[in-house]
Amino acid sequence: MGPNVDRRPPVMADVARLAGVSHQTVSRVLNDHPNVRAETRTRVLRAIDQLGYRRNLVARALVTKHSRTLGVVSFDTTLYGPASTVYGIEQAARDAGYFVSIVSLRTIDRAGVNDAIGYLAEQGVDGIVVVAPQRSAARALDDLPAGMPAVAVEGWHQGDVSVVSVDQVEGAKLATSHLLDLGHETVWHVSGPADWLEAEGRIEGWRAVLTAAGRPIPDMLTGDWSPRSGYQAGKQLAAMAGDVTAVFVANDQMALGLLRAFTEEGVKVPEQISIVGFDDIPESEFFSPPLTTIRQDFGAVGRRSIDVLLRQIESGGALPHERLVVPPQFVLRASTAVAPR
């Protein structure tokens, strides 16, 4: 209606003119300032509606110094763990009225993480979450821009940054103890890649339980989290069937690979070998046999990390750094049984 064929979108001044008020009053209406007459408010609202006005958050951010945007740096968001964590982060952030700008690293190294953090800082994010599961990446948090609120997820850190993570050591202990409780003499371990903090934590927990029980610590096999690497480890372990009666695998995907290898080699799970995984991906319950595993509540980790970050932002950075641990949960299914013979 009308010759309203302006090419560029309306701005506050346009709304103000149409409503017959000053642009500041429009701003007040938009920001729920109390001192605006009800009648004026509705007049402004009507004008906004009529023009299809949308405020320009970029201009707002320039003056307020807050973009209400959070940065997230992550690694391979294709994997179930990172994907779920980032999802939890995004949900929690949006519930709190924040946007999320994501940088997904292809390879993770200190320089890459640093670059990502730098970009996000230029972009004016109010805070940064680094999903830093590797030692090298975690170290990048040492040279964060001054005054930038940040939180590390699944990271390890001694320095001055808050950390939220699942208790990997505890999870590994749960898994290993369960197998020992079933009467197995000892427990083998297929670990994740060396540089990963989660892999280290799981190794630590596994070793601790074995040591405490005075059991021999078998040679460790190392995978790369992929089903294929688990399959390869499985082939090796199958060759030792008889010696090996229980395996704690560092994640469910590798456990699937083991299961496949054992099936091919005619090794029965759990009759001959018991297996415990880690993560509890949605598929695990339907493996053959259904996988006993350790559940990580990634969603909770994401949410808690946003809690911590927002608290830090709102406190103006005057808050002590926190270390928040989310407990893992043991999930009993059908891939474990009492030791044979």
Partner DNA sequence: TCCAAAGATGTTAACGCTAACATCATCCGG
Partner DNA sequence: CCGGATGATGTTAGCGTTAACATCTTTGGA
Binding site for its own copies (CB under 8 A): 9, 52, 54-59, 61-62, 67, 69, 76-78, 80, 83-84, 86-87, 90-91, 94, 99-104, 106, 118-119, 121-124, 145-147, 226-228, 230-231, 253, 256-257, 259-260, 263, 282-283, 285-288, 290
The token pair that represents 54 in the structure block: 């949308």
- Which residues bind to DNA, rule: CB under 7 A? 8, 11-13, 20-25, 27-28, 30-31, 34-37, 39-40, 55-56, 59-60, 62-64
CA 140/CA 163 separation, integer angstroms: 14
> What's the N-to-C CA distance of the chain in angstroms?
86
- CA dist 269 → 179, 245, 332, 336, 337 (Å): 13, 10, 14, 7, 9
CB of 258 to its own copies, least distance (A): 9
With a CB cutoff of 8 Å and minimum separation 6, the contacts of 238 are 261, 262, 264, 265, 267
Choose between 206 and 298: whose C-beta lies nearer to its own copies: 298
DSSP-assigned letter for residue 134: B
Alpha helices in 96-226 (DSSP H): 110-122, 135-139, 168-181, 197-212
With a CB cutoff of 8 Å and minimum separation 6, the contacts of 93 are 70, 99, 100, 306
CB 129 within 8 A of CB 93: no
For residue 67, the partner it binds in DNA, its own copies, none, with Cβ less than 5 to 8 A by kind, is: its own copies
Choose between 206 and 231: whose C-beta lies nearer to its own copies: 231
CB of 282 to DNA, least distance (A): 42
CB of 49 to DNA, least distance (A): 15
Choose between 209 and 306: whose C-beta lies nearer to its own copies: 306
For residue 124, the partner it binds in its own copies, DNA, none, with Cβ less than 5 to 8 A by kind, is: its own copies
For residue 100, the partner it binds in its own copies, DNA, none, with Cβ less than 5 to 8 A by kind, is: its own copies
Q: Is 182 exposed, middle or buried (0-12, 13-18, 19+ CB in 10 A)?
A: middle
The token pair that represents 38 in the structure block: 């009800």
Choose between 4 and 211: whose C-beta lies nearer to its own copies: 4
Residue 291: count other Cβ atoms within 10 Å of its Cβ. Answer: 29
CB of 136 to DNA, least distance (A): 31
Choose between 51 and 258: whose C-beta lies nearer to DNA: 51
For residue 40, the partner it binds in its own copies, DNA, none, with Cβ less than 5 to 8 A by kind, is: DNA
For residue 208, the partner it binds in its own copies, DNA, none, with Cβ less than 5 to 8 A by kind, is: none
CB of 177 to its own copies, least distance (A): 28
For residue 42, the partner it binds in its own copies, DNA, none, with Cβ less than 5 to 8 A by kind, is: none
Choose between 63 and 146: whose C-beta lies nearer to DNA: 63
Choose between 58 and 318: whose C-beta lies nearer to DNA: 58
Report the half-sphere exposure of 276 (CA within 13 A, side-chain side).
Answer: 30
Choose between 109 and 204: whose C-beta lies nearer to its own copies: 109
CB 249 within 8 A of CB 277: yes
The token pair that represents 290 in the structure block: 């259904």
CB of 28 to DNA, least distance (A): 6
